[in-house]
Structures are given as structure tokens and as C-alpha cells.
Amino acid sequence: MQRTNFGEMACSIARTLDVVGEPWSPLILRDVHVGLTRFEQLQADLGISRKVLTERLHHLVEHGVLERRPYDRRPRFEYVLTEKGTELFDLLMVMVGWGDRWLAGPAGPPVLYRHHACGQISHVELRCAHCGRPMHGGDVDLLPGPGAAAA
């Protein structure tokens, strides 16, 4: 059975899932964000097979989310977030907020965010880029954009 190509759909959610919708990809991005940049580090932390990790890293590099950089004379590489990957981490922070609220359990969230600017423990909150008010799904209307598929 052939996999659906979400990257060709006129939907930003589908296109994003085409890049990071497979469960290992967000976990790899999380680990790279916190400094686990080498293949062996990623494999040890995630408990992922070499084959799957190789495929995921190749996919993320191919989509411009990670960059592969040499770090030794032998052909050894580390993986770093690109600008695209760093911005994608913002999406993962929103996912963490949802998981903390609905799935964390009685012990509470496994990770806290300390904001560099104020030094306080905080959480991600979506706000309107124009008025600055909090913005949730029920506060918006979805309208066709310039990239919408023709009806």
C-alpha cells in the first residue's frame, strides 16, 4: 500500500505532518534542541534502532529541519537545528503544553520552561499578532488563503 503524500496537499497541517508527523521525528528534534546532537547520543537516549534513526535523520535533513555537520576527521557527523527546525520547536512547545494539561498525571509535567527574558517558569500561550490577546481555536474563523486549493 502506497503512503499518502501529505506534502502535496493544500493544507499546512498536512504539509507539516509530512515533515514531522512520524512519532520519532519530534523526539529527535527535542533531543537535538537540548544538545544531544550525535547519532550515538540520540540512539542511546531514544532507544531507537540504527535503521529507523538513520531514516529519520535523513528525512529531517532532506526537509531542511536539521543540518548535518562534520565534527571529527573520520566521517562523523552531528545534527543541528536549522532556522526552520528552531522555529518548528515552537510547535513542539505547544504540544508539550497540551500534553502537560491533559496527559501529565498527578506528578505534574516532566519538564518546566524557564523564560530567558524574565527568568520565570512559564508556559506557551498563543496570542494574536495584531492585538496581543490570547488566541484559541474557538476565537478564529478559517478563511481560504492565497494557497488554498481551487474548488
- List, for residues 56-78, the tens digit of each pLDDT value: 999 999 999 999 999 887 888 99
The per-residue pLDDT for 150 is: 59
Average pLDDT over residues 28-51: 98
Average pLDDT over residues 14-26: 93
Proportion of the chain above pLDDT 90, given as a percent: 83
Supply the DSSP string of 34-64, one letter for each residue: TT--BHHHHHHHHT--HHHHHHHHHHHHHTT
Average pLDDT over residues 25-48: 97
CATH of domain 6-139: 1.10.10.10
The per-residue pLDDT for 89 is: 92
The per-residue pLDDT for 151 is: 47
Alpha-carbon distance 50 to 39, whole Å?
9
- List, for residues 78-122, the tens digit of each pLDDT value: 999 999 999 999 999 999 999 999 999 899 999 999 999 999 999
114 three-state secondary structure: strand
Give the predicted TM-score (pTM) of the model. 0.88
